[in-house]
């Protein structure tokens, strides 16, 4: 079968071009109309928005809001987790004995307070700790061997205080929880306690249990 295209007359070509032109023209008109309609809708939304803002402004004068308050970071959750994490570290000969106390009702006392949850860290893994089974952080001392020097530090992390980190720190602290005002960053061991607390705080924000969490290697480096 021959594939030679059918001869097309000049008149046919003109007609086809004409049809095509009309279609293009109509499409262009339609786009213009749609655009105009959209513009009207957008202007309406902007006008409504401005009206709302003006109404809001009439109640609270802008000048009453202190500058520092305006710049405070906005929490990511409407209700931040009210959990306080205290981390205590005893360092003996480069070995860290880490105890974590988690308080889920930091502002409650007596019957209203939930019992604190006790954890320890073994091989970077967070495990529950039985408060009755107190491990001896000074085994060599009690076994009569020469006493070794120990360093002790503790630091607490308030999970709900997370802010957008605006700077980097050289220590183990997480600037989202322990910025300038919360830590002097002078005590390496305390910054480590802060870093562990912050790592667990992030887990809590994700809604995950802290038990079984393997802490990142660089917190212990
Ligand atoms: Zn620090
Ligand atoms: Zn710190």
Q: pLDDT per residue over 136-150, tens digit each?
A: 655 555 566 656 788
Burial class (CB in 10 A: 0-12, 13-18, 19+), 102: buried
All structural domains of the chain with their residue ranges: 8-72, 84-219
Strand partners, 153: 89
For residue 103, report the distance from its CA to the centre of ligand 1, in Å.
Answer: 22
pLDDT band of 182, cuts 50, 70, 90: confident
Question: Of 168, 160, 155, 150, nearest to 88 (Cα)?
Answer: 155
Which tokens sit at 146? 């020469």
Mean pLDDT in the chain? 81
Q: Among the bound ligands, name the one nearest to the CA of residue 156.
A: 2
The Cα–Cα gap between 101 and 119 comes to 6
For residue 211, report the distance from its CA to the centre of ligand 1, in Å.
Answer: 24
Model ipTM value: 0.96
pLDDT band of 61, cuts 50, 70, 90: very low
For residue 172, report the distance from its CA to the centre of ligand 2, in Å.
Answer: 7
Choose between 110 and 77: higher pLDDT. 110
Using the predicted structure, report yes or no on whether residue 34 has a pLDDT greater than 70.
Answer: yes
pLDDT band of 59, cuts 50, 70, 90: very low
Using the predicted structure, report yes or no on whether residue 60 has a pLDDT greater than 50.
Answer: no
Q: Please report how many Cα atoms fall inside a 13 Å half-sphere around the Cα of residue 42, on the Cβ side.
A: 6
Q: Which residues contact 138 (CB under 8 A, 6 or more apart)?
A: 92, 147, 148, 150
For residues 109-116, give the mean pLDDT.
87
For residues 88-100, give the mean pLDDT.
93
Q: Among the bound ligands, name the one nearest to the CA of residue 169.
A: 1
């Amino acid at each position: 079968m021959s594939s030679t295209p059918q001869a097309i007359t000049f008149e046919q070509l003109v007609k086809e071009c004409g049809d095509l032109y009309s279609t293009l023209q109509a499409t262009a008109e339609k786009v213009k109309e749609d655009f105009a309609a959209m513009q009207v809708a957008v202007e309406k939304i902007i006008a409504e928005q401005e009206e709302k803002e003006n109404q809001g402004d009439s109640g609270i004068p802008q000048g009453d809001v202190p500058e520092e308050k305006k710049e405070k970071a906005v929490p990511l959750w409407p209700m931040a987790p009210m959990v306080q994490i205290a981390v205590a570290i005893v360092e003996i000969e480069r070995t860290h004995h880490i105890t974590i106390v988690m308080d889920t009702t930091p502002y409650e006392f007596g019957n209203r307070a939930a019992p604190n949850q006790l954890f320890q860290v073994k091989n970077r893994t967070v495990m529950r700790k039985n408060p009755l089974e107190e491990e001896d952080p000074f085994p060599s001392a009690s076994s009569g061997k020469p006493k070794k020097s120990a360093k002790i530090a503790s630091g607490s992390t308030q999970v709900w205080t997370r802010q957008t980190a605006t700077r980097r720190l050289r220590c183990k602290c997480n600037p989202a929880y322990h910025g300038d005002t919360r830590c002097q960053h002078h005590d390496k061991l305390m910054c480590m306690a802060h870093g562990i607390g912050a790592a667990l705080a992030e887990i809590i924000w994700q809604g995950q249990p802290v038990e079984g969490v393997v802490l990142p290697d660089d917190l212990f480096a």
